[in-house]
Chains A and B, each alone.
Chain A
Amino acid sequence: MIEDDLRAAFARHETLTPSTGPLRVAIDRLAAVRRRRRQRFQAAGVTLALLGALGVGVPQLRPDRPAEGPASSGQPAVGRSGALNVLLLGVDGFGEQPPYRLADSVLLVHVPADRSRPYLISLPRDLEVSIPGRGSEKLNSAFYSGAGEPRPDLDAGYDLTRRVVADLTGVRVDAGAVLTFAGLRRITDAVDGVEVCLPKEVRSWHTRRTFPAGCQRLDGAASVDLLRQRRYLPDGALDRDRNAQRYVAGLVRRVVAQDVLTNPVRLTALLAAPGKGLAVDDDGLSLTRLVAVLPELESVDPVGLSLPVGTPVGNASRLPLDPKQGPEFLAALREDRLAQWVAQHPEQVNPVR
């Protein structure tokens, strides 16, 4: 009899079923959006290597970008002469367990208008920043706040972090990418390893591997291992940021040495490498346009810098901006005169090779 009641209950509630018309339209629309997003993922590897590390195709990029950053932060729009700022976020463990993550590597790649050479500027993950809707928080939590739960969204995490970085620095973020561990591993393997030059030995807290001082070629897994290390390093997360810069510098050298930019076969392999481990902010720029332009830089040897921070006060784990050097540095960045700033503060340069 309970079986009969069940059948009757199901039959009676058939009338709850909504009509299929609007649903059909919604399905088609959402599928179209996902199809486009899938294509964006495809362009990921090349965008990291070309845009992020080399600053390719700068003038072609600008007109497509809506005013962002300075406009929203109330800062004057600067860098009009064609400086480029690309935001690279390294997030841990995306798609693995636990699934939601922090952006522990926040790297702003600045390419000056004179195209002399790229600057890699690490923004410390423990930097105290103002996150819209969240108040005062550490920089690395912006990605997590934006990405959401239960299934995080790389695009949304990136968007919120980009806003925070634009507000903090006052520069326009022209393009950007998010790289997960898996994406990092695949990119590294796609270029047959990346040479990283370490000033001091690094021991892995995760795998007990030892990375000796000096230059060494690392495969994908080893690169991920190295870039996760923070605990045994004297300066903790700040030292990890320096290692991330050394990795990016090595990746740039590798890509240039292999003629990836001019070799369609290598380019295609690199392009397909990161797969879903990387989301990219290219706002519809086509791949062909990206690769059609050649590097304009006089030198691809990057200058490694870090946003100057002060010593923690009160809440011990959060770092404030250095009260004197911080604003000076940001002004130099906004006004595209980092070369001058570096000449005045040579001790702030992180040797990446």
Chain B
Amino acid sequence: MTYEEFADARLAPLLRYAVMLTGEPHQAQDLVQETMVRVQLNWRRVARADSPERYVRRMLTNQYVDWRRGSWVRRVLLRGEPDASVPVPTDHAQSAVDRDQVWSWLSRLPRRQRAALVLRYYEDLPDVEIADILGCAVGTVRSSISRALATLRAEYVEA
């Protein structure tokens, strides 16, 4: 597989995944850009992996989790307020507003917990694979997901 073929097939899903992680299109673009530049520069190593797709997802997830250490965050911070040109889709029903609260609560979770939630409830991956991507034990995945869910449930009670 060439880099071009990989990008053709995987860029869009990666970008969707990044949107779920960051909750915001610009940061998602920056995250994917930074990751894919490194993928392109090190393509031979990426292509040698058992599953290049999973390898790149792990790179992107690490980049997201290591936010503070990563170089991409600086550009994000410099950009200031998020652009309003891409509105968050809204439903008319009050129940939809309530559900959008779930989305905003996600931003308060620690990044590893949010990543674990996205991998399980958006990407529908088994815990073994989530553990591989996050570089931790399966038990750690389960406990961070249950801690994240507990945090969200507590928000429900308060709201």
Contact B69 A150 (CB under 8 A): yes
Residues of chain B in range 23-74 having any CB-CB distance to chain A below 8 Å: 23-25, 28-29, 32-33, 36-37, 40-41, 68-71, 73-74
Contact B28 A2 (CB under 8 A): no
Using Cβ atoms and an 8 Å threshold, which residues of chain B touch A34? Answer: 37, 41
How far is the CB of B3 from the nearest CB of chain A, in Å? 9
A26 to B11, CA, bound (A): 13
The interface-forming segment of A15-23, A248-256, A336-344 is A15-23
Contact B11 A23 (CB under 8 A): yes
Known A-B contacts A14-B19, A150-B74; the reply to A8 vs B99 at CB < 8 A is yes
A24 to B32, CA, bound (A): 10
Q: What mask results when residues 84 to 115 of chain B are scored 1 for a CB within 8 Å of chain A, else 0?
A: 00101100000000011011001000000000
Residues of A within 8 A of B (CB): 2-3, 5-18, 20, 23-24, 26-28, 30-31, 34-35, 38, 148-151
A209 to B32, CA, bound (A): 48
Residues of B within 8 A of A (CB): 7, 11-12, 15-16, 19-20, 23-25, 28-29, 32-33, 36-37, 40-41, 68-71, 73-74, 86, 88-89, 99-100, 102-103, 106, 117-118, 121-122, 149, 152-153, 156
Contact A28 B40 (CB under 8 A): yes
Known A-B contacts A2-B153, A2-B156, A17-B19; the reply to A23 vs B118 at CB < 8 A is no
How far is the CB of A27 from the nearest CB of chain B, in Å? 5
Using Cβ atoms and an 8 Å threshold, which residues of chain B touch A151? Answer: 69-71, 74
Contact A23 B29 (CB under 8 A): yes
Task: Please provide the 6 A-B residue pairs with the shortest distance between their CB atoms, ordered closest to farther.
Answer: A10-B122, A31-B40, A6-B121, A27-B36, A9-B102, A151-B71
A10 to B16, CA, bound (A): 10
Using Cβ atoms and an 8 Å threshold, which residues of chain B touch A6? Answer: 102, 117, 121, 152
Which of B16, B33, B69, B73 is the one whose CB lies under 8 Å from A23? B33
Contact A35 B41 (CB under 8 A): yes
Contact B118 A10 (CB under 8 A): yes
A3 to B149, CA, bound (A): 8
How far is the CB of A35 from the nearest CB of chain B, in Å? 6
Contact B37 A23 (CB under 8 A): no
Using Cβ atoms and an 8 Å threshold, which residues of chain A touch B73? Answer: 150
Known A-B contacts A17-B19, A30-B33; the reply to A10 vs B121 at CB < 8 A is yes
How far is the CB of B46 from the nearest CB of chain A, in Å? 13
Contact A18 B29 (CB under 8 A): yes
Known A-B contacts A5-B102, A23-B11, A34-B41; the reply to A15 vs B89 at CB < 8 A is yes
A34 to B70, CA, bound (A): 16
Interface hub of A23, A30, A149 (most chain B Cβ within 10 A): A23
Which of A5, A15, A20 is the one whose CB lies under 8 Å from B12? A20
Q: Quick one: closest A residue to B104, CB to CB?
A: A9
A150 to B118, CA, bound (A): 27
Using Cβ atoms and an 8 Å threshold, which residues of chain A touch B117? Answer: 6
Contact A27 B40 (CB under 8 A): yes
Contact A18 B15 (CB under 8 A): yes
